[in-house]
């Protein structure tokens, strides 16, 4: 058994009694209250999900296993001469909470390589999809097409499945999926946008390095990929993609069904598609300006026109965060180091100075500050990935790391099928004391 799986088993066995005790002795203790605004308003802030993989503080932002983004990037093993950690090391860390040694990280790198080859039927499926298919629809379809390989589903149907061992099957499916999806994403990209010239995987490369290679993008894109996938991996459990994946898996659907569903949620413009929308909005501004550098006054007018037309400003606002997203800050630091004079980065920088005041003055958005999506497309654009229809797929590869770690732990701790209760409008009116 691999070091990762063995370590995970140990962590799971240590953790189980904590959940069992809470559930047995304290299940009646109240966690919070729910008001009518929350019932109507997307269950905002209701504390009803449980995860130890990451926690999102409204002011501080995300912590992975208790560590800030900066600490995470700093402490994990990196390929020689690179600035960002192995994605495989991050996967080890998310699953176990332990920082792997270089040898442990490399063991996961080798394990992923062995599982990486794409089945021919996935390629056939992608090639048979209508040429107008969005890359996210292709990505989701490719993931669910592999369901017939699910170790979890097979174990369930053969009766080998117990509450105690079910995490092992989820883990195997998650390893298989994670090792393959970067190649699936690259295949979609090359087929759709690069004259169908496909680049084979390089068996000498780690996940980030091989992704850059199969995309046909030179260094430092390998490091961009590592940074991007890690930053986009997890944002606790309430966001649409994470919650959907967890919800579907709670019915004991396997990881292929669950992740594909989560990816479909990520495809929405209020969630992952915002990074594509930011780029498209910026390019529109650039075109309208005809190459003239905008002043803050000009940029303000574009922002106000967008709001007056009834649209949101993509890349700003957040359901939980109440300050600038540290994932934005991390990417901004990358831009300041690697592309300080880039034209689009200058636009993003100007937006940072212009948008929050406007959103505050409008008085609607609870958080006027930029989120992860405001900055990410600019980096991709700079390194030559200019087909922004593809950006959400990149987000999907990253997000898979977090949600697959979560559903592996869901099974380890035996979390129940999710089933919140609904009410009718009449019931809410009664609770509110309204008479019709
Ligand atoms: N531009 C204009 N209006 C905005 C806004 C923005 N960027 N952010 C919020 N608002 C508006 C909302 O549309 C809402 O208006 P209505 O009352 O008329 O419906 C009001 O302000 C209150 O919204 P909120 O409570 O502050 O925000 P929500 O929790 O409802 O929504 C969103 C959070 C991220 C969806 C929202 O801020 C938004 O639409 N932002 C732009 C899209 C975006 O960047 N999405 C990516 C978010 C990060 C992410 O999940 N990435 O995957």
> Minimal CA–CA distance to 151: which of 120, 176, 117?
176
State residue 217's pLDDT score: 97
In a domain, 179, yes or no: yes
Residue 240 alpha carbon, nearest atom of ligand 1: 50
Structural contact between residues 223 and 203, judged by C-beta atoms closer than 8 angstroms: no
State residue 309's pLDDT score: 94
State residue 1's pLDDT score: 87
State residue 409's pLDDT score: 98
In a domain, 222, yes or no: yes
Residues catalogued as catalytic: 271, 318, 373
Could you say which residues of the chain have pLDDT below 50?
Answer: none
Pocket of ligand 1 (CB under 6 A): 239, 270-272, 274, 307, 312-319, 359, 364-367, 371-373
Contacts of residue 326, Cβ cutoff 8 Å, sequence gap at least 6:
60, 61, 62, 68, 69
- Testing ligand 1's pocket by substitution, the residue of 38, 58, 236, 312 carrying the most ligand atoms inside 8 A of its CB is 312
Q: 238: domain range?
A: 102-269+387-412
In a domain, 139, yes or no: yes
For tokens 């690697």, the residue is 338
State residue 411's pLDDT score: 98
Taking only the tens place, the pLDDT of each residue in 105-159 is: 999 999 999 999 999 999 999 999 999 999 999 999 999 999 999 999 999 999 9
What are the DSSP calls for 159-207, one per residue?
A: T---TTTHHHHHHHHHHHHHHHHHHHHHHHHHHHHSTT------TTS-H
In a domain, 107, yes or no: yes
Q: Is the dihedral of CA 127, 149, 394, 367 positive or negative?
A: positive
| Count of CB atoms situated within 10 Å of the CB of 369 | 20
Residue nearest to atom 22 of ligand 1 (CA): 365
Structural contact between residues 330 and 379, judged by C-beta atoms closer than 8 angstroms: no
Structural contact between residues 207 and 222, judged by C-beta atoms closer than 8 angstroms: no
Tell how far the Cα of 12 is from the centroid of ligand 1, in angstroms: 37
Residue nearest to atom 17 of ligand 1 (CA): 364
In a domain, 333, yes or no: no
Domain count, the chain: 1
**The domain that contains 205 carries what CATH number?**
1.10.580.10
Q: Helices (DSSP H) in 216-273: which residue ranges?
A: 221-231, 240-250, 255-266
Taking only the tens place, the pLDDT of each residue in 35-63 is: 999 999 999 999 999 999 999 999 999 99
In a domain, 31, yes or no: no
Contacts of residue 385, Cβ cutoff 8 Å, sequence gap at least 6:
189, 215, 217, 221, 391, 394
For tokens 């970067």, the residue is 182
In a domain, 236, yes or no: yes
Residue 315 alpha carbon, nearest atom of ligand 1: 44
In a domain, 121, yes or no: yes
Residue 272 alpha carbon, nearest atom of ligand 1: 52
Residue nearest to atom 40 of ligand 1 (CA): 317
CA neighbours within 13 Å on the CB side: how many for 414? 13
State residue 289's pLDDT score: 85
């Amino acid at each position: 058994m691999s070091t990762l799986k063995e370590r995970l088993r140990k962590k799971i066995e240590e953790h189980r009694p904590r959940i069992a005790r809470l559930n047995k002795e304290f299940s009646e203790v109240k966690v919070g209250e729910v008001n009518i605004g929350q019932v109507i308003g997307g269950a905002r802030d209701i504390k009803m999900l449980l995860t130890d993989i990451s926690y999102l503080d409204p002011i501080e932002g995300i912590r992975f296993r208790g560590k800030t983004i900066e600490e995470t990037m700093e402490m994990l093993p990196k390929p020689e001469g690179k600035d960002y950690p192995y994605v495989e090391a991050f996967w080890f860390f998310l699953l176990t909470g332990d920082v792997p040694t270089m040898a442990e990280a490399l063991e996961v790198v080798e394990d992923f390589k062995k599982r990486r080859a794409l089945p021919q039927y996935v390629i056939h499926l992608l090639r048979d999809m209508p040429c107008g298919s969005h890359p996210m629809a292709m990505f989701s379809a490719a993931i669910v097409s592999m369901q017939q390989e699910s170790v979890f589903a097979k174990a369930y149907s053969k009766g080998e499945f117990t509450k105690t061992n079910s995490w092992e099957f989820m883990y195997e499916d998650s390893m298989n999926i994670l090792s393959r999806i970067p190649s699936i994403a690259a295949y979609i990209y090359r087929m759709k946008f690069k004259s169908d010239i496909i680049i084979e995987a390089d068996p000498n490369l780690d996940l980030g390095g091989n992704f850059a290679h199969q995309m046909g993008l030179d260094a430092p894109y390998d490091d961009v990929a590592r940074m991007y996938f890690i930053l986009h991996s997890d944002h606790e459990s309430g966001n649409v993609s994470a919650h959907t994946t967890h919800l579907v898996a709670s019915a004991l659907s396997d990881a292929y069904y669950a992740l594909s569903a989560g990816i479909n949620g990520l495809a929405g413009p209020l969630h992952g598609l915002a990074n594509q929308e930011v780029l498209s909005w910026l390019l529109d501004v650039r075109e309208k300006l005809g190459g003239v550098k905008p002043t803050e006054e000009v940029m303000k007018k574009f922002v106000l026109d967008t709001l007056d037309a009834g649209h949101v400003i993509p890349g700003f606002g957040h359901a939980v965060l109440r300050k600038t997203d540290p994932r934005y800050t991390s990417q901004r630091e990358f831009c300041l180091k690697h592309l300080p004079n880039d034209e689009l980065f200058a636009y993003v920088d100007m937006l940072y100075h212009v948008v929050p005041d406007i959103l505050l003055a409008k008085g609607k958005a609870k958080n006027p500050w930029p989120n992860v999506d405001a900055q990410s497309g600019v980096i991709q654009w700079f390194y030559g990935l200019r087909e922004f229809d593809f950006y959400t797929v990149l987000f999907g590869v990253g997000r898979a790391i977090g949600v697959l770690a979560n559903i592996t732990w869901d099974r380890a701790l035996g979390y129940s099928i999710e089933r919140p209760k609904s009410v009718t409008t009449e019931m809410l009116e009664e609770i509110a004391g309204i008479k019709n």
